[in-house]
Amino acid sequence: MTLLQLEKVSRRYPIGNPVFGLRSFLTAVDQVSLEVRKGETTGVVGESGCGKSTTGRLALGLEQADSGHVLFEDKQLAAADTREWRAKRQRMQLVYQDTLAALDRRMTIGDLIAEPLVIHDIGDRASRQQRVLDLLYAVGLSEHHRALYPHQLSGGQRQRVVLARALAPSPSLLVCDEPVSALDVSVQAQIVNLLVDLQQELGLGILFISHDLRVVRHVSDRIVVMYLGQVVEHGRADTVIDQPMHPYTQALVSAMPKLPGGFDHYLPLPGEPPSPTERPSGCPFHPRCHLAKDICRQTQPELLPLGPERRVSCHLVSNP
């Protein structure tokens, strides 16, 4: 069952001065379509600045799309900061990367986890206390953490707190924006496994955002590869990893540790990811693509379907 659906969603940000002629826009998210199903995870991967976080905020309705639709549980989201919108927060929650900033440092862990319950007026004082305790255990913390403050915990423990807080109002959708990128590798695995366990237990739909394909691959049922605000490849996780079609995805996959059936050789990804303020002509990836041809510099390839749930945007794939 489809929980969340983005249909050709775009978001532009104004840059420069509005009055004296210098106003222009950068397109952070460009015609992105994706879906998250109940109990499943959709991973979004791409280099920093490619519009992943913006996509996440659009999915949650924290920002308004300039065009396109966001459907959550088959309904369009209410405008941000209305009463209806606020009530909807119960059902969809965000998990942050920077946990130290996201947690009010003057509140105890117990109060922080209870806050969404208070906000949405769920249960009475006693039942909230019990719920906080249950959540603490569910994310692998214990009762004594309840009275501590955020800065007294380690990064991994804080990420568990953020997770517990997001789970408190029993949402059906989690958007996890780089949830483990700030953590040590060993801790990353713990948190990722916790997330997978909780998902199975609670039947959550997850939009999992990361620049790290290894992590995304580990949790995702479906993978969306983004480049400069656009989706360049989309498909089931195993097909995208085993048979990447887009040269950009191929480069990302080849940089991962060797996988059975994967690429033998490393495809270098030259240059820096370009800024959305200076979008190249034609295929946005062409300045870094080792396969680029003339047509790539002139016309932009379309995102064309290539079998069930599979879409790729590359001239070489659509007409080799």
Ligand X SMILES: Nc1ncnc2c1ncn2[C@@H]1O[C@H](COP(=O)(O)OP(=O)(O)O)[C@@H](O)[C@H]1O
Name the residues that contact another protein, by CB under 8 A: 13, 15-17, 19-22, 26, 60, 62, 81, 86-90, 93-94, 96, 98, 101-106, 115-116, 119-120, 165, 169, 277
Q: What angle do CA 186, 188, 194 make, to 5 degrees?
A: 110
Residue 186 binds what, of Mg ion, another protein, ligand X, none (CB under 5 to 8 Å, by partner type)? none
Q: Which stretch binds ligand X (CB under 6 A): 49-57, 101-109, 118-126, 200-208?
A: 49-57
- Nearer of residues 46 and 156 to ligand X, judged by Cβ: 46
Structure tokens at 24: 């222009």
State the amino acid at position 181 in one-letter form. S
Interaction between residue 43 and ligand X (CB under 6 A): no
User: Residue 108 CB, nearest distance to another protein (Å)?
Assistant: 13
Distance of alpha carbon 18 from the chain centroid: 31
Instruction: Provide the residue type at 76 as one letter.
Output: Q
Q: How far is the CB of 20 from another protein (least distance, A)?
A: 4
Burial annotation 280-307 (CB, 10 A radius, 16+ → b, else e):
eebbbbbebbeebeeebeeebbebeebe
Of residues 100, 101, 118, 291, which one binds ligand SF4 by CB under 6 A?
291
**CA separation for the pair 243, 239 (Å, rounded):** 5
The contact mask relative to ligand SF4 for 187-226 (x = CB under 6 A, - = no) is ----------------------------------------
204 binds, among ligand SF4, another protein, Mg ion, none (CB under 5 to 8 A by kind): none
CA–CA gap between residue 196 and residue 192 (Å, rounded): 6
User: Does residue 222 interact with ligand X by CB under 6 A?
Assistant: no
Of the two residues 88 and 288, which places its CB atom closer to another protein in the complex? 88
Query: From the CB of 81, what's the least distance to another protein, in Å?
Result: 7
Q: Is 54 in the site for ligand X (CB under 6 A)?
A: yes
Instruction: Name the percent of the chain in helix, strand, coil, to the closest 5.
Output: 35, 25, 40
Q: Where are the beta strands (DSSP E) in 59-189?
A: 67-72, 75-76, 92-95, 173-177
Tokens for 78, please give them. Answer: 């209410």
Distances (CA, A) of 260 to 149, 212, 238, 257: 45, 19, 12, 10
**Under the criterion CB under 6 A, does residue 228 sit at the interface with ligand SF4?**
no
Of the residues 10, 53, 220, 250, which one makes contact with ligand X according to CB under 6 A:
53
CA 93 to chain centre: 12
> Of ligand SF4, Mg ion, ligand X, none, which one sits near residue 182, judging by CB under 5 to 8 A according to partner kind?
none
The item of another protein, ligand SF4, ligand X, none sharing an interface with residue 253, based on CB under 5 to 8 Å by kind, is none
What gap in Å lies between CA 206 and CA 209, rounded to an integer? 9
Q: Which residues bind ligand SF4 (CB under 6 A)?
A: 246-247, 283, 285-286, 289, 291-292, 296, 301, 314-316
Q: Which residues bind Mg ion (CB under 5 A)?
A: 53
